[in-house]
Structure formats: C-alpha cells, structure tokens
Chains A and B, each alone.
Chain A
C-alpha cells in the first residue's frame, strides 16, 4: 500500500484538511507544549494509536513534550549569525541565565533555545524573544532586552491544585 493511502484512508475521512499536525499545533499553542494527557485525548478523538501520534510528535523539532519556560529566548545559529558572533551571544545568555540550550530556568521563567535562521540574516546576530525579533544583538544589549520581557510571575499553574476546589 502507498504511504499516501494509509493516512488518507485512516484519519482524514474524506476531508483533506483534517491533519494531525494542525491538531498538534493547536495543542502547543494552547499549552506551550503537547502534554501527554492531551495527546492521549487526541488519540481517542481521531482514533489514531498513541504511538503514531508520538511517532509524529518526536519527528518535528518544533513540538515540545515538556513544559517550557514561560518566556522563550531563541538564539539564531543560522549561517550568517553563526559567522557573526551568534555563538558569543549564546554564551552570554547561557551565563546570564545559568542554563544550557533546551533548558528552562529553575523558576520556569525563561526557556533558552537555539534555532536555525530566523530569516533576518542581514542583521546578525539575531535573538527572538517569544515572537519578537531583535537584530544586531550584542551581549551588552541583553539586560535592556530582558527588561522588556520581565518574568511572568504567578501565572496560574496548569490545573491540579485548584481543579477540585
């Protein structure tokens, strides 16, 4: 059987646009990551085995399986930024936050990521904070930028504690 048929037949029904990726994008937009609980619910709703959902989830680097820090700092390590002090910027951020790429600070305030090219290569090095892009960023600019994105405190924790109150 062709690859195409397996999926087309399985969970699209006849609708060409009922893609799994869209559902996962939706979950990540809502929670900041794809919680296992939600993946299981999705598996029931679409009648797709959980294993297949995880097979897809783990393939794409955009999807996260763990709760990230509340503010995401993405340092570009694309060709242009790599050549022009991108690694220096990354080091400075690592020192400032005391974490490595892919990690969140202990208080859950900041998430540090490395990304490949934000399409802003004429202005390297580039840093993206959540959806906001900053260009020509020097380590000395970091305090000013961080000030614009103060840690979000007291954001309601997801559920457990109050869910039964």
Chain B
C-alpha cells in the first residue's frame, strides 16, 4: 500500500528523472568493482561532462546485475529503444559508450545506428542467462541505487510494510505460514512456523536476527543481496519484528564483506531518517531499530546458536537444540533468525500474497532460489530461478556449459554442507525434496561447476581441510573425525586406496553424521563420500592388497 512517503519519493524520483532522456546504469557490486568498476564509473561521469550531458543523462550505480564474469557491466536505457547491456567494459570503453552511443543517439534519435565495434561488446538481449530467470528477490537489484533510499522507495520498498502495519500481527503470521516459505540458509525450515513459535513464547523482549555470515566458500548470494538491495532485507526484518513483537534486530555480516557492511549501515541510517526505523515506524506505535554486527571470521558462527553466542560476546560454539532460538535465543529471549535471502522474500510475499508465492516453484518448495554460479561455468554470476528448475537448465542453458569447452563432470552445490552432483544426475530438480533425495542440499546457493579436468579428490580434501580449521572442537567426532578423514583423503590421493581405507571412510563418516552436534561435523564428510561413492572408477587404488580384515 503506497503511502505519502512513497508518493513523495516517487514524485522526487520523477522530478529528478524528468529531464533525463537517457539513463545509464553502472553495476557497483563487488565483482564489477573489483574489475576496475570504479574507474568505469569515473570515466562515465567524466565523459558525460565532456559532452555537456549532465542534464540529459542520468547515471545510476546499482547492485549486482548478475553476469559477474562479464563485468564491469553498463546498461544504457532510452525511451523507444531496447535497453543495451555492455560488458566487460573498460574505463576507455565506458568513454566510448558515452561518445559513440549515448551522445549521438540523443542527437539523432531514430536515425542513430550503433557502430559495429560497440555492438560487438554488447551482450545479446535474449541471452538465456537473463531470459530464463524469474526475478522475485532480485527484482530491484539491477535498477535501484542501493545507497539512495528514495530510489528504493520509488521501486516499491516498504510498500509491504505500510500495508502490514494496518493489520494484526497474527494476520502476517498466517500469511507467511500459508506461503510455505522455507529458510534459504540451508535448513529449509518453514519461516512462518518460526514466527508462530516466537510469537507464541511468553517473553518481555524478542529479537530478530539476519544471518549474513555466508561462510560457504564459493557462495555469494547473500553478499550480493546485502550490497544490492539492503532495504529488502531491512523490510523483511521489520515485518518479522512486527509479526512476532520484536523491537530490536541485528544484521550479522562477515567482516570480510566490507562493502556489504557499509551499504547496510547506510541503508539503516537512511531508513531512520525516513522514520522507517525508530520509535514510531511509519508513524505507527510499532517501534523497531536495528544495527549491524560484524562477525569475526569463524565459519561455525553461521550456525544459529553459535551466531547468537558470538553476539553475546562469547566463543562461537553451537549448543544443543532444543530449545530453538525461536523459544530461547539471544539473551535467552525468543529470537527469529533468518537468512538474508529468506528475509528478502518476506516483503514480496506480504505484498503480493501467499497464493501468488505458491504459484512459483513446487508444492513443497514454493518460490524461487538464487544461486551463485562459479567454477568452470562459462557465464558465471547470480541467477534466480523457480524452485523445481532442473539443475541442467541452470548449468547448460543459463550458464552456457563450461568455459573450458570440456564436459561437465559434476556440480558442487551447497558448499561444505552440500555435495557433488554427478553429470549423469543433472536432470534432478532444484528443490529441497529432490536434493535431499540425492544426499545433497539446496543450501546457501553456491554452485561450482566442475569439468572433467578438475580433481574431485583434491576438492574433497580442500573441504576437509576447511572443516579441520573451522571445527569448533566441541564434539570429538567432528574434531577428530575431520582430521582423520583429511589424512585418509590425502593418503588415498598419494598412495591409492585399500579396501580398508574405504571401509574406514564410510565408518568415520557415519559416526560423524550420527554424533556431531551441528551441521559442520555432520556435513564435513559429504563431498569426500559423494566422490568415493559416485566415481569409484576415479578413486586411485593401491595395487597390493593388504588383506586386513575390516
């Protein structure tokens, strides 16, 4: 429901844009910035001034446009002309875009023909990478400036909140439960159920936490959302807070995500100025404020109880559940802790309805999922597809196969907690139910494409090494098991496996699965085990059998 705040913002944006005949969007996500994106931006500003187009051309910095491997990306939009996306753009090429495309197109209108050398750097407008996506969470990320709240408001941010504040909290809980939204942080627990539990637990204070720890090496979904559309996450937190009766929120972000931390802080400040956070949210009697909490580099702190311990100033060691955080969380109070992407889904559901949300995805996994593709994928970047999409569609159609031209051997999905999906099983659908049948998980969204030159055993060792370093040491099975599996994997790689080695690996992995307290220890053996089970022909074998009895 648009409010005076929204009409004002729209009016302000309309006025700001009224004189502009052309808008040039420049990606300001981490990937593009790392590839000289800063110089591209400066070059665009400079070239615009040279051509005296300051009043005619609007320059907008946006969140991640998605196709990171072709970055830095620049998009030109004009009335009556199809938008044009360029990439990779160098500082010099950015100047050419202004000189040879924007300026002459504005001068000549219909008669403008784009020079050939520019066209060669443009990405086809019907690229499957974009055409086959379904953007719900990422709907605003490539068109609004994450550092200007009026832009976000003009694009519909906080509309859901305005509508929600007119309703009873219970109505929101009902809507979210009906939507079937499941947590995107890995577990897949229904978010509406968490809300109901937290609201139903007697307490003076309640908290909302956004889990932006994103520790899985190879995933950058949460980072991109936090950087590109921090208001979607804040709105999700506000809605969670209103639904369960919390007045404080924490956005827990990895310290290494410097840009994300900065953008979220900026968004919080601007939201306060607009009265969207504070004692009277949008003039209502709902009070809510939040702050950023920077993590300190421990993967296990992504686990919810460890994360809470670290906010409390302790070592980030998981504790047994129950009680779940929704009953006994931060400072012993009911706490709703949700993943970044989960929270970004919430405003969309509240605004558009649970039925709409259920019209996307599968019955057990409604909605979309964002994946970050990397590794050998030809087109790497951020993609959002309906749940239930085949893995092969994402890898082959959107990702365009491998950049090496070699056949895909496997896809590592879900990072440390996930597993390897062999090429033969790529027609599996991406949904909680189908992935768990494979013994993998949808996970946080990391998707690493591997070709037949990649050493899967080395990758398994890599994950085990990571687990050894990151195990908090609380459970013996995890503390010792990760070491032993790492040694075993190293030995197999160097000397070949005996039958005993394989039996031992199975046993260790079973024990870790059964007796580890948290997901780290349970999941650590997964990649190694999926390698040993699925690629027995690739497992190096020791010739001389020792003949030991297992």
Interface residues of A (CB under 8 A from B): 2-5, 7-8, 11-12, 16-17, 19-22, 24-25, 55-56, 59-63, 77-80, 82-84, 115-124, 126, 128, 131-136
14 A-B residue pairings within 8 Å (CB atoms): A8-B312, A19-B313, A21-B310, A56-B314, A60-B316, A63-B297, A82-B459, A83-B454, A116-B217, A119-B220, A121-B375, A121-B448, A123-B380, A128-B256
B313 touches A83 (CB 8 A): no
- How many angstroms from the CA of A21 to the CA of B68 in the assembled complex? 33
| C-alpha gap A147/B35 in the complex (Å) | 17
Task: Give Cα A120–Cα B293 distance, bound, in whole angstroms.
Answer: 22
Determine whether the beta carbon of A136 is less than 8 Å from that of B35.
yes
- A3 contacts which chain B residues (CB < 8 A)? 309, 314, 319
* Contact yes or no, A119 B223, CB < 8 A: yes
In the assembled complex, B235 has its CB within 8 A of some CB on chain A: no
B332 touches A5 (CB 8 A): yes
Proximity bits, B366-389, A CB within 8 Å = 1, else 0: 000000111110001100000000
Binds A, one of B26-34, B45-53, B169-177, B181-189: B26-34
Partner of B248, one of A12, A16, A80: A16
Min C-beta distance of B420 to chain A, whole Å = 12
Minimal Cβ-Cβ distance residue in B for A124: B374
Indicate if the CB atoms of A121 and B372 lie closer than 8 Å: yes
B218 and A79 contacting across the interface, CB-CB below 8 Å: yes
B332 touches A4 (CB 8 A): yes
B97 contacts partner chain A, Cβ-Cβ < 8 Å: no
Please indicate which of the listed interface residues B219, B376, B454, B472 has the most CB atoms of chain A within 10 Å of its own CB: B219
- Asked if residues B34 and A79 are in contact (CB atoms below 8 Å), the reply is no
How far does the alpha carbon of A3 sit from the alpha carbon of B308 in the complex, in Å?
A: 11
Residue in A22, A79, A118 whose beta carbon sits within 8 Å of that of B459 in the complex: A79
| B34, A16: Cβ atoms closer than 8 Å | no
**A122–B373 touching, CB < 8 Å:** yes
Residues of A contacting B291 in the complex (Cβ-Cβ under 8 angstroms): 17
A120–B220 touching, CB < 8 Å: yes
In contact, B68 and A118 (Cβ under 8 angstroms): no
Give chain A nearest CB distance to B48 CB in angstroms.
25
**Complex: how many Å from CA A12 to CA B314?**
12
Known: A59-B298, A118-B256. A20 touches B466 (CB 8 A): no
Min CB gap B527→A, angstroms: 10
Do the beta carbons of B462 and A79 come within 8 Å of each other? yes
Answer whether A123 and B298 are a contact pair too, CB < 8 Å, given A16-B331, A21-B311, A56-B314: no
Within 8 Å CB of A19, what residues of B? Answer: 293, 311-313
In the complex, A142 Cα to B454 Cα: how many Å? Answer: 26
Closest residue of chain B to A74 (Cβ to Cβ) is B256
Q: Is there contact, CB below 8 Å, between B332 and A121?
A: no
Q: A16-B248, A120-B30 are in contact. Are A60 and B296 (CB under 8 A)?
A: yes
Instruction: Give complex CA distance A16, B446 in Å.
Output: 33
Complex Cα–Cα for A124 and B299 (A): 21
Note all chain A residues with C-beta closer than 8 A to B118.
none
A117 engages B248 (CB within 8 Å) = no
Q: Which residue of B lies closest to A48 (CB)?
A: B313
Of the candidates A17, A80, A136, the one whose C-beta lies within 8 Å of that of B374 is A80
- Contacting A at CB under 8 A, from B278-326, are 291, 293-299, 308-316, 319
Interface centre among A22, A59, A79, A122 (most CB of B within 10 A): A122
Q: A120-B34, A122-B374, A122-B381 are in contact. Are A83 and B450 (CB under 8 A)?
A: yes
In whole angstroms, how far apart are the Cα atoms of A77 and B256 in the complex? 14
Closest residue of chain B to A136 (Cβ to Cβ) is: B35
In chain B, residues 313-356, which have Cβ atoms closer than 8 Å to a Cβ of chain A? 313-316, 319, 328, 330-332
B257 interfacial by beta-carbon distance below 8 Å = yes
Distance of A119 Cα from B60 Cα, bound (Å): 23
Instruction: Determine whether the beta carbon of B31 is less than 8 Å from that of A116.
Output: no
- In this complex, the member of B205, B293, B330, B374 whose beta carbon has the largest number of chain A beta carbons within 10 angstroms is B374
A7 to B255, CA, bound (A): 23
C-alpha spacing A122/B294, complex, angstroms: 24
Q: How far is the CB of A131 from chain B (nearest CB, A)?
A: 5
Q: Does B214 belong to the interface (CB within 8 Å)?
A: yes
Query: How far is B218's CA from A80's CA once the two chains are assembled, in angstroms?
Result: 6
Q: Are A133 and B30 in contact (CB under 8 A)?
A: yes
Q: How far is the CA of A134 from the CA of B30 in the complex (A)?
A: 10
Residues of A within 8 A of B380 (CB): 121-123
A106–B89 alpha-carbon span in the complex (Å)? 39
Knowing A116-B217, A120-B34 are in contact, say whether A20-B331 is a contact too (CB < 8 A): no
